[in-house]
Amino acid sequence: MKFLGKNVQISDSAKIGANVRIGDNTVIYENVEIGDDSIIANNCVIGEPTANYYSTESHKNKPTIIGKNALIRSHAIIYEDVQIGEGFQTGHRLTIREKTIIGNHCGIGTNCDVQGYLTIGDHCHFHSEVHICQFSTIGNFVFMYPGVVLANDKYPPTEQVIGPTIGDYTQIGIQSSVIGDVKIGANCFIGAQTVITKNFEAFAYILGVPAKRKGDVRDLKSESGEPLYPWKNRFSRGMPW
């Protein structure tokens, strides 16, 4: 009994692909494009206008493009001026602000808060309650776990800020912070509740408050002695290899 079409609003200027299903109480605003075979579940808002809408009568929504095969779960809010690749999957109550670019085959979990003015590569997966600040640059195959916060200001408040850059394949453990214009290399593993305010090279195992390089991730072994990283060699669910 989902997708009954009850209390749904879709703008005349929205382009809805073939075989798209849209849940009850969902709103699709002007200039939204949704790719074929996508599902937008109940109570979502797609193409939410920015604050300018409230003050400027002539406000025109910029394009919001969601690629094919998306599954956007209920209560998500995705602003205007967002581009998302194909195969996008979300949890519930996701927020994505304007000027966000997301690659293909990404997943973003329940209650995540993506602040806009940022780029996320392909095959990234953010678990629940992840907060990505403005002006961040996230590579490909980057995974973040519950409660991670990326922030763009080491000594707040500041008028001009730049967010973190996270390298490909890097894993960020639960409730960790990455703060300011810092660069984390590829294939790093950042342990839980780590606070990063400086750069780290590729393959670093990073831990602590403040964060320190504890070693090379390639030296981390499982209980049975197998190398844990690069994780590409031991994890394939949903991955292209």
Binding residues for a second copy restricted to 207-236, rule: CB under 8 A:
208-209, 220, 222, 228-229, 231, 234-236
Place of tokens 């600040």: 133
Q: Which residues contact 164 (CB under 8 A, 6 or more apart)?
A: 133, 136, 137, 150, 152, 178, 179, 180, 181, 182, 183, 184, 196
18 is a contact residue toward a second copy (CB under 8 A):
no
240 is a contact residue toward a second copy (CB under 8 A):
no
Among 171, 185, 200, 203, binds a second copy (CB under 8 A): 171
87 is a contact residue toward a second copy (CB under 8 A):
no
96 is a contact residue toward a second copy (CB under 8 A):
no
Of residues 134-163, those binding a second copy (CB under 8 A): 143, 145-147, 149, 151, 153, 155-159
- Token pair, residue 95, equals 């927020």
Q: Which residues contact 55 (CB under 8 A, 6 or more apart)?
A: none
- CA 146: distance to chain centroid? 12
Place of tokens 């953010």: 126
Of residues 24-83, those binding a second copy (CB under 8 A): 24-25, 27, 29-30, 39, 42-43, 45, 48-49, 51, 53-54, 71, 74-75, 77
- CA 54: distance to chain centroid? 26
Interface segment toward a second copy; rule CB under 8 A; list 80-88, 100-108, 124-132 = 124-132
